[in-house]
């Protein structure tokens, strides 16, 4: 690879050169001998107007380029710069493609040129980065990015990023670099030349392995760290008085603020643990509840030598507890302690499977990239937790191959046992005072009678409002068309040379005689594929025929009711499912028989063959699960289970999924937790309705009168920092929403956006309404200089959309479902929250409709018993997005007039902290916003 790199960034009027888009700014940074020696930057007159959105994004306007040269005037200089160099860009296909087109138009066609894409290189060298956008990467690696979306700043940052990534690569062990170099040949840019050069340089010197690393079986990994057992020099005693607690906080390095609400919560948790009682605590925003439950939990765990389990709903919360809150507590409590995160086995990498996969020749891009990411990650990770990695969608498929799911042979025979990440994590958890896990793991442990987590009697469930939802998912079942087809493809016929072919090859080599011949398995597989196609065809027809209103635009759901169970269509589906199940069992028996035969030949098998059998065993578990799910959902449906089908009517059968969930979880949760544990503390900011825990308690099955119940109000002065506004000139919402209503709320949103200058989160209760509103606002062109971000419309995860929202001054984020909770946008980035509709669950949702039927049969009112309290809690969560700190100021606007015009509307207003409420037509609302902000 040439020693000269030219890092290029373009700003353009749009994404497509062929449609008349043109360059408005170009910058090229020249790097020689790994040092920046020159930067050339120029505005370019595109000959067309710069669109408002591009002006808002880049800060470049028509006036700035009016006297700039045409591209043809600077093209020779650009062309000369690029000759005999490596072209570098953050997303090479765009910048190089656009530049080639422009150069070609002025008679300077750019021939073959070596490239390095810093997006691709960053994915390899920074496998744990949450985002690979240039602004996010610059923040991650500590490079100052003064003017994002201006070519001079972007090119310079990309150049500095390139040098940082190259330097990081040079520090990798030689054994890692050699593997990366071999794999890099199959990447999209010419990174293989870069790695080859680094390997050659490395071989010329003595490669001293860093002291924290080791090379085991040809792979460089970080050595496992086993923390020392803390030695207590004094008796541990919980600080009971306010003065004692204040002393702890005052003597911490950070001089943390101790709030009255925090004191109350600390005392409540301590009381629950020391008296062996359960507790439910609603802790308002700003109390500092993590510290408030962690401190008493630590004192109790260390003093009583009893581990305390902390369970959260999200991975982000787990990380925050371990890496932020517990680090702060080290400076507060006067003793040392041990804390760890422990997840399900499948979260950890299986090194034997990974080692085996490295020896396979696989040119698939996502597989190659993911292998490279893991190789770099292994010299960094202390946990082996695959959630640390940012996988592509294709990488997620490869992940399934290398995740841990136990051993086919005993763990004693695994050559990687001494370095096994799951066993290490389990050992850490067994010896920890605080074990942080997630709701799913906690529930799985309960289902398996405590076989997964270390034995415990005391636990804290944070984000407890999601516990019932997590349980529903954990104890539920799912059958997906795409997933079934994926595992079928993974098995493959003998002709396709996938897993079955390799397995059969091993059987023939070993001259073994299975009970079920390969021809019978091959035939069963062929028949299974035919029957499966029929099965999903019948299921698709069932779904299609249930659509009466002609709407084929959105995902449709069909609950399997008693009437459907008695229909001919269902009987045909059941018969088809039974045939599928028979062929499935034949294949399962054939594979299992072969596995047992090969198990007896352990000593004769090579290590790669043993690793392959571990992979077959993993496949068998997935295959078994498919059969069991088919049986319980279709062939012998369980009573008291809600079963439904869903899919996009426009994309049948590919979009079809089938679900089954227990109708009532109260008994399951009660038996699994509250009757077996000494003390369970459940906490969240949103657990009550009208100051009562009644709804939450019923949902989770905590029928215990002795349980401690505590409501701790937020310390924020809401009356002076927040306002709630209700426009009176919108029509009332009744049932379904028509296009006229969407047009009216779109006009209101445009007016509000102008007044607040963006910084606005708009919460919807349906994706269909979100999409229509987003499109109307965009098509109106009234907000051309605003950045509009729509969940499910703008590419990216919830985290990525939230980050993008925070990066622009004039931004509007349209969200539904998950955006009602869990996103944290403090300060001026969010100053306006719009709630479009009160968040009632749709009555035709399968689980909701089944619950309503059960409530009616019990002689109760489904609306007041379930629908209203659930919506109130959801409303509280949505409102909670607005004020995240005591210096925040903001406005919440509710478009749904039912909050004023119905008797139940008061329940929503009473559920939020006391704020000023204003009502009026939109012009009055706009005036009030201007005065307030």
CATH number, position 729: 3.40.50.300
Domain boundary among 119, 143, 171: 171
Q: Residue 63 CB: number of other CB atoms within 10 A?
A: 8
Lowest mean per-residue pLDDT among 51-65, 110-124, 226-240, 746-760 = 226-240
* Residue 549 in this model has a pLDDT that exceeds 70: no
Lowest mean per-residue pLDDT among 132-141, 445-454, 864-873, 886-895 = 445-454
**Predicted confidence band at 650 (pLDDT cuts at 50, 70, 90)?**
confident
The answer to the question of residue 56 being in a domain is yes
Q: What is the pLDDT of residue 207?
A: 75
Shared domain check, 34 and 56: yes
The answer to the question of residue 771 being in a domain is yes
* pLDDT cut 70: percent of the chain above it: 98
Strand partners, 311: 437, 461
Indicate if the alpha-carbon torsion angle 327, 331, 333, 335 is positive or negative.
positive
Shared domain check, 676 and 558: no
* Residue 522 in this model has a pLDDT that exceeds 80: yes
Shared domain check, 159 and 136: yes
Q: What is the pLDDT of residue 169?
A: 96
4-34 exposure pattern, b = at least 16 Cβ within 10 A, e = fewer? bbbbbbbbbbeeebeeebbbbbbbbbbbeee
Shared domain check, 656 and 678: no
The answer to the question of residue 498 being in a domain is yes
Query: What's the CA gap between 351 and 411, in Å, rounded?
Result: 12
The answer to the question of residue 180 being in a domain is no
Query: What's the CA gap between 767 and 765, in Å, rounded?
Result: 7
Domain boundary among 123, 152, 171: 171
Binding-site residue positions: 283-290
Q: Mean pLDDT of all residues in the chain?
A: 90
The answer to the question of residue 205 being in a domain is no
Which own/partner pairs from 174-178 qualify as long-range (CB within 8 Å, at least 24 positions apart)? 174/199, 174/202, 174/203, 174/207, 175/215, 175/218, 175/219, 175/220, 176/219, 176/220, 176/375, 176/376, 176/378, 176/379, 177/202
* Residue 445 in this model has a pLDDT that exceeds 90: no
The answer to the question of residue 213 being in a domain is no
Cβ-contact 558, 644 below 8 angstroms: yes
* Residue 736 in this model has a pLDDT that exceeds 70: no
Shared domain check, 137 and 31: yes
Work out the angle between the directed axes of helices 568-599 and 607-630 (0-180°, nearest 10).
160
Q: What is the pLDDT of residue 551?
A: 56
The answer to the question of residue 296 being in a domain is yes
The secondary structure of residue 734, as a DSSP letter, is -
* Residue 440 in this model has a pLDDT that exceeds 80: yes
Shared domain check, 14 and 156: yes
* pLDDT cut 90: percent of the chain above it: 64
Q: What is the pLDDT of residue 368?
A: 96
Shared domain check, 154 and 277: no
* Residue 548 in this model has a pLDDT that exceeds 70: no
Cβ-contact 134, 157 below 8 angstroms: yes
Q: What is the pLDDT of residue 550?
A: 55
Shared domain check, 706 and 628: no
Three-class secondary structure of residue 413 per DSSP: helix
Lowest mean per-residue pLDDT among 339-353, 602-616, 717-731 = 602-616
Q: How many domains does the chain have?
A: 4
* Residue 554 in this model has a pLDDT that exceeds 80: no
Lowest mean per-residue pLDDT among 3-12, 247-256, 846-855 = 247-256
Rounded to the nearest 10 degrees, how much is the dihedral formed by the CA atoms of 675, 676, 679, 684? -70
Lowest mean per-residue pLDDT among 325-339, 426-440, 663-677, 885-899 = 663-677
pLDDT in tens, 834-845: 999 999 998 889
Three-class secondary structure of residue 712 per DSSP: strand
Lowest mean per-residue pLDDT among 89-103, 181-195, 316-330 = 316-330
**Residue 888: left if φ>0, alpha if ψ -120 to 50, beta else—which one?**
beta
Work out the angle between the directed axes of helices 499-509 and 518-545 (0-180°, nearest 10).
160
Shared domain check, 50 and 149: yes
Binding-site residue positions for ATP: 283-290
Angle at 111 between CA 160 and CA 46, to 5 degrees: 70
pLDDT in tens, 295-335: 999 999 999 999 999 999 988 888 889 989 999 999 899 89
Higher-confidence position of 574 and 546: 574
SS (H, E, C) 157-188: HHHHHHHHHHHHHHCCCHHHHHHHHHHHHHCC
Could you tell me the residue range of the domain that residue 285 belongs to? 259-336+666-712
Query: What's the CA gap between 551 and 725, in Å, rounded?
Result: 34
**Mean pLDDT throughout 769-776?**
93
The answer to the question of residue 239 being in a domain is no
**Predicted confidence band at 931 (pLDDT cuts at 50, 70, 90)?**
confident
pLDDT in tens, 197-218: 999 999 988 778 899 999 999 9
Shared domain check, 917 and 866: yes
Shared domain check, 891 and 746: yes
Comparing CA positions, the residue from 929, 910, 908, 911 lying closest to residue 920 is: 929
Domain boundary among 171, 197, 222: 171
Q: What is the pLDDT of residue 341?
A: 93
| Furthest CA-CA distance within the chain | 86
* Residue 37 in this model has a pLDDT that exceeds 60: yes
**Predicted confidence band at 145 (pLDDT cuts at 50, 70, 90)?**
confident
Shared domain check, 876 and 845: yes
The secondary structure of residue 828, as a DSSP letter, is G
Cβ contacts of 861 within 8 Å, gap of 6 or more: 855
């Amino acid at each position: 690879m040439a020693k000269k790199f030219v890092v290029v960034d373009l700003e353009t009027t749009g994404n497509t050169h062929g449609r008349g888009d043109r360059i408005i700014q170009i910058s090229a940074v020249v790097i020689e001998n790994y040092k920046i020696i020159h930067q050339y930057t120029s505005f370019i007159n595109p000959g067309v107007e710069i669109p408002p959105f591009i002006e808002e994004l880049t800060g470049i306007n028509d006036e700035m380029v009016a006297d700039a040269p045409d591209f043809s005037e600077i093209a020779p200089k650009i062309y000369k710069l690029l000759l005999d160099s490596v072209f570098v860009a953050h997303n090479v296909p765009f910048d190089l493609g656009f530049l080639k087109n422009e150069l070609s138009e002025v008679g300077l066609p750019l021939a073959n040129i070596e490239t390095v894409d810093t997006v691709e290189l960053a994915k390899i060298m920074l496998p744990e980065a949450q985002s690979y956008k240039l602004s996010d990467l610059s923040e991650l690696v500590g490079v100052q990015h003064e003017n994002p979306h201006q070519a001079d700043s972007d090119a310079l940052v990309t150049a500095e990023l390139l040098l940082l990534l190259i330097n990081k690569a040079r520090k990798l062990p030689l054994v890692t670099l050699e593997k990366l170099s071999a794999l890099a040949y199959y990447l999209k840019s010419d990174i293989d030349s870069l790695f080859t050069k680094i390997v050659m340089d490395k071989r010329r010197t003595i490669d001293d392995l860093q002291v924290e690393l080791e090379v085991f079986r040809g792979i460089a990994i970080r050595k496992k760290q086993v923390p020392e057992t803390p030695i207590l020099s004094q008796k541990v005693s919980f600080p009971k008085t306010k003065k004692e607690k204040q002393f702890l906080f005052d003597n911490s390095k950070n001089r943390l603020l101790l709030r009255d609400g925090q004191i109350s919560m600390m005392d409540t948790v301590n009381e629950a643990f020391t008296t062996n009682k359960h507790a439910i605590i609603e802790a308002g925003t700003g109390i500092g509840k993590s510290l408030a439950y962690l401190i008493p939990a630590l004192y109790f765990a260390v003093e009583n030598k009893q581990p305390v389990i902390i369970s959260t709903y999200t991975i982000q919360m787990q990380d925050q507890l371990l890496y932020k809150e517990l680090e702060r507590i080290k400076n507060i409590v006067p003793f040392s302690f041990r804390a760890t995160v422990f997840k399900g086995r499948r979260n950890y990498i299986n090194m034997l499977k990974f080692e085996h996969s490295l020896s396979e020749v696989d040119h698939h891009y996502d597989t190659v990239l993911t292998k490279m990411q893991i190789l770099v990650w292994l010299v960094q990770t202390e946990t082996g937790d695959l959630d640390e990695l940012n996988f592509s969608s294709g990488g997620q498929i490869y992940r399934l191959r290398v995740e841990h799911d136990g051993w086919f042979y005993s763990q004693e025979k695994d050559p990687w046992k001494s370095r096994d990440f799951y066993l290490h994590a389990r050992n850490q958890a067994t010896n920890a005072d605080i074990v942080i896990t997630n709701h799913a793991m906690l529930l799985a442990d309960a289902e398996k009678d405590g076989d997964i987590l270390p034995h415990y009697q005391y636990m804290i469930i944070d984000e407890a409002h999601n516990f019932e939802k997590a349980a529903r998912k954990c104890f539920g079942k799912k059958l997906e068309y795409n997933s079934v087809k994926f595992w079928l493809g993974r098995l493959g016929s003998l002709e396709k040379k996938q897993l079955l072919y390799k397995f059969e090859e091993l059987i023939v080599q070993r001259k073994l005689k299975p009970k079920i011949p390969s021809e019978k398995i091959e035939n069963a597989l062929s028949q299974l594929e035919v029957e499966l196609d029929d099965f999903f065809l019948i299921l698709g027809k069932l779904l299609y025929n249930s659509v009466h209103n002609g709407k084929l635009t959105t995902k449709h759901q069909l609950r399997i009711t008693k009437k459907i169970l008695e229909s001919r269509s269902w009987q045909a589906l059941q018969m088809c499912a039974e045939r599928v199940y028979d062929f499935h069992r034949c294949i399962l028996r054939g594979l299992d028989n072969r596995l047992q035969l090969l198990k007896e030949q352990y000593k004769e098998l090579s290590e790669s063959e043993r690793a392959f059998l571990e992979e077959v065993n993993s496949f068998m578990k997935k295959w078994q699960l498919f059969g069991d799910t088919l049986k319980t959902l279709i062939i012998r449906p369980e009573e008291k289970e809600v079963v439904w089908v869903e899919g996009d009517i426009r994309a049948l059968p590919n979009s079809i999924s089938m679900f089954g969930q227990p109708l009532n979880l109260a008994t399951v949760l009660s038996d699994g937790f509250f009757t077996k544990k000494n003390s369970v503390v459940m906490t969240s900011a949103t657990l009550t309705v009208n100051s009562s825990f009644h709804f939450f308690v019923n949902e989770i099955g905590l029928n215990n009168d002795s349980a401690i119940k505590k409501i701790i109000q937020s310390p924020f002065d809401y009356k002076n920092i927040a306002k709630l506004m209700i426009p009176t000139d919108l029509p009332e919402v009744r049932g379904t929403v028509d296009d006229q209503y969407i047009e009216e709320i779109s006009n209101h949103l445009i007016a509000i956006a102008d007044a607040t200058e963006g910084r606005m989160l708009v919460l919807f209760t349906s994706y269909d309404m979100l999409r229509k509103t987003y499109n109307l606002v965009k098509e109106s062109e009234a907000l051309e200089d605003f950045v509009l971000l729509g969940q499910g419309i703008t590419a990216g995860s919830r985290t990525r959309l939230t980050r993008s929202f925070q990066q622009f001054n004039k931004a509007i984020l349209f969200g539904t479902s998950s955006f009602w909770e869990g996103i944290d946008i403090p300060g001026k980035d969010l100053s306006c929250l719009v709630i479009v509709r009160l968040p009632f669950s749709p009555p035709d949702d399968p689980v909701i409709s089944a619950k309503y039927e059960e409530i009616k049969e019990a002689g109760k009112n489904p609306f007041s018993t379930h629908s209203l309290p659930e919506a109130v809690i959801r409303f509280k969560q949505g409102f909670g997005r607005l004020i995240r700190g005591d210096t925040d100021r903001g406005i919440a606007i509710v478009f749904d007039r039912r909050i004023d015009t119905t008797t139940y509307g008061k329940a929503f207003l009473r559920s939020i902290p006391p704020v000023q409420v204003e009502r009026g037509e939109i012009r009055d609302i706009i005036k009030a916003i201007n005065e307030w902000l």
